[in-house]
Amino acid sequence: MWKNRNVWIILIGELIAGLGLWASIIGNLEFMQEKVPSDFVKSLILSSGLLAGVLVGPLAGRVIDQSRKKTVLIYSSAGRVVSVVFMFIALATGSIWWMVVFLVLLQISASFYFPALQATLPLIVGEKDLLQLNGWDMNVSTIARVAGTALAGLILVYSAIGILYLLSFVAYIAILLFTFMLKIPKEESQRTIQSDENTKKGSGFKEVFPMLQANLSVKMTFILSFIPLLFLGSFNLLVIKISELQDSAMIKGMIYTVEGISFMVGSFAIKYIGEKWSIERILFVCLIVIGSGEMLLYFAGSSFLTLITFALFGFSLGCFFPTVMTIFQKQVPKEFHGRFFSFRNMLDRIMFQIVLLSTGALLDFIGLQFMVLVFGAISVLTTSYYWLQIRRGGVQIEAEQI
């Protein structure tokens, strides 16, 4: 696999693009912190891009299935470059509306880019190397997140916010150039395009529901996988609020860095934890730790406790998501993989928006400390409820091939 030039192009490109992405995310938080006093309005602004991504999702899926993957990657990469131009206008004018345009274009581009990238990976390596490549892709993204947020935090301390977007602009141009270097085998692309006729004949998402009903292990895991979204959906607004509470711009980069490093440690450690613990035990312990960590943020005024809490979050998520993905990949029949993962991705985005808007409203009305108690209690109680349901129903959650 490591002799394949396409693999190196994808991974190096992912690292560069990730640095640019996370630099711009930190820049977005800083810009809103200066211009927007209301947490609810902040959440509305952030959700505008997510909503655009949800709306174009079905179109993106059809376009990706019917087009050459490299072409989709090139155009969506170019779209990300163009989107940053609008953020430069926002900085020059001080207008939050230009930032909204930036977020919308960025998310629309991402809705095409990331599914196309995932569809490209099986075309550049053999099936035996696919799991390894997916793992490295996830770790490279995490490294980019850690490095990008740490670098962004330093830039904010010593330089202007515009430098963050200049870094993003250069990174997106670099990934566009890297994409032109890809050489996806013609025969594989042609085979994928031809198979689109079979895809069109499917009944879409409605066939997913009977499959979930017939496979209780997948159904329960599917439901449980949404519990961490209470934390993930509120993540950026929590970081802003904690930064304000501690009166520190540097804490933003530190939080992302600690959480990212812990995520990587968890994703490596899960291999060894899985040898000693059952899949079911891993899932529920991780969820309880996440819920308890949310309540621990009641003490977010302390930098030490804040970083410890986000380290726990990162480690738990690093164990939780690979485990969930393994269950889905092995338990969901292969003929449902495309529809199932598309359906899950769309629900993720919708739930993310709901949590984001709820977070903004709750931060305005009851404040950070009471909000994290509410979210933590919901996570712990929901986890406990489904644990009892699984115990009573005799459902076995496992990751064995069916």
pLDDT digits (tens, 9 = 90+) for 269-298: 877 887 788 888 888 999 999 999 999 999
Given a cut of 90, whether residue 381 has pLDDT beyond it is yes
- 322: buried, middle or exposed (CB in 10 Å: 19+, 13-18, 0-12)? buried
Token pair of 50 as six digits: 């997510």
Most confident of the ranges 172-186, 197-211, 230-244, 366-380: 366-380
Residue 159 DSSP SS3: coil
pLDDT at 339: 62
Query: What distance in Å separates the CA atoms of residue 199 and residue 196, rounded to the nearest whole number?
Result: 5
User: What is the fold, at CATH topology level, of the domain defined by 207-402?
Assistant: Growth Hormone; Chain: A; (1.20.1250)
* Nearest alpha-carbon partner for 184 in 3, 63, 9: 9
Residue 202 DSSP SS3: coil
More confident call, 89 vs 396? 89
pLDDT at 312: 93
Residue 38 DSSP SS3: coil
Most confident of the ranges 350-354, 362-366, 379-383: 379-383
Token pair of 237 as six digits: 């607004």
% of the chain exceeding 90 in pLDDT: 12
pLDDT at 129: 65
pLDDT at 199: 47
Domain boundaries, the chain: 1-194, 207-402
pLDDT at 384: 92
Note whether 1-194 and 207-402 share their fold: yes
- The pLDDT tens digits of the residues spanning 46-67 come to 778 778 877 777 777 667 767 7
Query: What distance in Å separates the CA atoms of residue 175 and residue 166, rounded to the nearest whole number?
Result: 14
* Domain 1-194 bears CATH identifier 1.20.1250.20: yes
Residue 152 backbone dihedrals phi, psi, to 5 degrees? -65, -40
Query: What distance in Å separates the CA atoms of residue 224 and residue 229, rounded to the nearest whole number?
Result: 10
Burial 246-255 (b: 16+ CB within 10 A, else e): eeebebbbbb
171 pLDDT band, cuts 50/70/90, is confident
More confident call, 132 vs 100? 100
Distance of CA 23 to the CA centre of its chain: 16
- The pLDDT tens digits of the residues spanning 353-370 come to 788 788 888 888 888 889
> Looking at the whole model, is its pTM more than 0.85?
no
